[in-house]
Amino acid sequence: MTTRQTNAGSENSNEQLLLAVYTLWQPDFDKPPGRVKRPSDGTYVAFYENRHGEQWVLRLDRATGSGGLLGCETAWEGLEVREGVLLADLILSDEEAAWFRACLHAVMEEPPQQPLTLQEMLDAGKAAMLAGSPTG
């Protein structure tokens, strides 16, 4: 474990590195951004890698549930998350959606429900069509 001293205002504090994640860059994916900045106090950070080696990093403010999601599927461009809602046209796998929702539950008391997988989006579309139909 690596320990380094930092100055936090007038107080001295010790930070300890808990986890370093190394990635094997695959030519099929864009190169990862290198280092993700150390989170400030009150920031939740989560890492996910699926069985295909596709990786995601999620950063959320614990007070607001807002932050960003970045990963190889988005060329490591940050996607906005506002109050627990992913503001992007992105379809996640069942496993990725389960991880994202678990992260939201770790940060928010009542995270919003949002269709994230293709099947959920199709089901939401069917429900909306049925609700708007004269016989629904």
Q: Is residue 133 part of a domain?
A: no
Exposed/middle/buried for residue 25 (C-beta within 10 Å: 0-12, 13-18, 19+): exposed
Residue 8 banded pLDDT, cuts 50, 70, 90: very low
Over residues 91-130, the pLDDT tens digits come to: 999 999 999 999 999 999 999 989 998 899 888 887 777 7
Query: In this structure, is residue 10 part of a structural domain?
Result: yes
User: Residue 88 sits in which domain range?
Assistant: 3-126
pLDDT in tens, 48-70: 998 888 889 999 999 999 999 99
In-domain check, residue 96: yes
- pTM of the entire structure? 0.74
Element housing 120 (H / E) = helix 118-132
pLDDT for 4 beyond 50: no
pLDDT over 70 for what percent of the chain? 68
- The number of beta carbons lying within 10 Å of the beta carbon of residue 77 is 12
Q: Is residue 136 part of a domain?
A: no
Q: What is the DSSP letter of 13?
A: E
User: Residue 132 domain-assigned?
Assistant: no
Indicate the number of domains in the chain. 1
Distance separating the N- and C-terminal Cα atoms of the chain: 60
